[in-house]
Structure formats: C-alpha cells, structure tokens
Amino acid sequence: MLRALQFALALAVAATGLAAAQEPAPQPARAARAIKPPPAVPYDKAAKPLASVPLVNAGFESTVPGKVGSPEGWWVVQHAGPLSYTFEPDVTIRRSGERSLRVTNVGPEPFGAVYQTVAAAAFRGKTLRFSAWLRTEGTTGNRFASGAGLKLHSVRGGYPLELTEMRRDAVHGTTDWTRYEITLKVPAEAEGIEAGLVLFGPGRVWIDDVALDVVGDASSGGPSTGVAK
C-alpha cells in the first residue's frame, strides 16, 4: 500500500510540475485539435530483445485475486479523492486469451494507473523496453496528458529516478488494438523498475499482452528513451 501511495504521489508531482511549466497564457476559444496516437509497432517489426524479463500475469488471464482489488501481480492506484477509475477484467473485449484488463474513468480525479514492479539490480546500465497492446474508447485526456499511455520508471526508495512515458502522445479517441512500446536505460542507483499504464481523464482503455524486455546493454548501448517508434 505504501508503494502504491508513493507511485501516486510521484505521478501527481510529475503532472503538477508539467502543468505549471507549460501553463499557457489565456487564449481566445478555438476548435479542439485532433491528436493522433503514436504509430503502431507490429510485433514482427519490433526489435528482437536480448532477453525477456518475467512478469506476473502479463496477459491478465489469472483469476487469482491480487492485493487490494488489483489483478494478480499488479497494483492499481488513482489520484487521491473519490472513486474515479475502475480496473476490471474483460472477457468480451480482449486481444488474445480469455480476458484483458479494462480501465474506466468514472469520476473527477485526473489519473488512474496499473503497474507492476520488478527488482532493478540485474538490469542496471541496460535498456529495457515495455510494450503492450492497447484499445481505447473515448479517451479525451486532460491538461496533464492526451489520453492513455504507457509509463516506465526506475525508482529508488519508492521515488522515480528516470522515467519514460506517453503523455503528449498518449492514445486519444477511439482506437482498435495497437501495439505501443517505450524504452528506458536503467541507472546504476535504481532499486526497482515500475512498468504500467496510465489513463488521464475521461474514457476507457483496454490493455493486454504486455512484455518487458532487455533491448540494450552497457557495452552495446541502445536506445535510452523512446515512445512508440
């Protein structure tokens, strides 16, 4: 529970800082601009990983209850306040297998997230890639981000050191199943890696078939950041 609260606090601090730094001057009302989601990354076009990092319940197939209502192996959290995001298995809409995880905005709070944590010691100095298949319905975003997106943190003491996230290019609107990926080079002082999905504001998003892979090491280099290339 403490880690979930720390994760929520880190998201809130990052979102608040971004808003403060980018708060625009008042402008006359104008028509909303359509935001295109990042391009698809087909599985057969993705870079071959050097190794795969085991995740618990990566396809959200497990029916074993997790902690505090989370799917097995995952944590769910929202910004403080009234219930604003639900996290439910969906046996009707899924990319593969018997079920996916559906995240739905049902209240006023700015974000809800689902994530999994792995120990960082074996991956320090290496580049990790987190990928997942997402499907969205009516994601409009808010002042913090444009919809639903992936997030990959390196953390120490429960607080982020380095992170990569889909924010301005988060998935916006109604879209079919599409594969997205982000990468992060793990710093030497990292204790944990947190990989997950965040929904900012209205709408709903489905997530399925996630993967965490090593795609670069200290000797070969490799990408340090990236969003849906």
> For residue range 21-46, what is the model confidence (pLDDT) as tens digits?
334 344 333 333 444 555 566 666 67
Structural domain includes residue 35: no
What is the reported pLDDT for 208? 98
Structural domain includes residue 25: no
Structural domain includes residue 55: yes
Structural domain includes residue 129: yes
Structural domain includes residue 181: yes
Q: How far apart are CA 214 and CA 86, in angstroms?
A: 31
Instruction: Show the domain range for 155.
Output: 2-18+45-227
Each residue's pLDDT tens digit, 127-141: 999 999 999 999 999
The total domain count for the chain is 1
Each residue's pLDDT tens digit, 141-180: 999 999 999 999 999 998 899 999 999 999 999 999 999 9
Structural domain includes residue 36: no
Each residue's pLDDT tens digit, 99-125: 999 999 999 999 999 999 999 999 999
Each residue's pLDDT tens digit, 73-95: 999 999 999 999 999 999 999 99
Structural domain includes residue 39: no
Structural domain includes residue 27: no
Whichever domain contains 129, its CATH number is 2.60.120.260
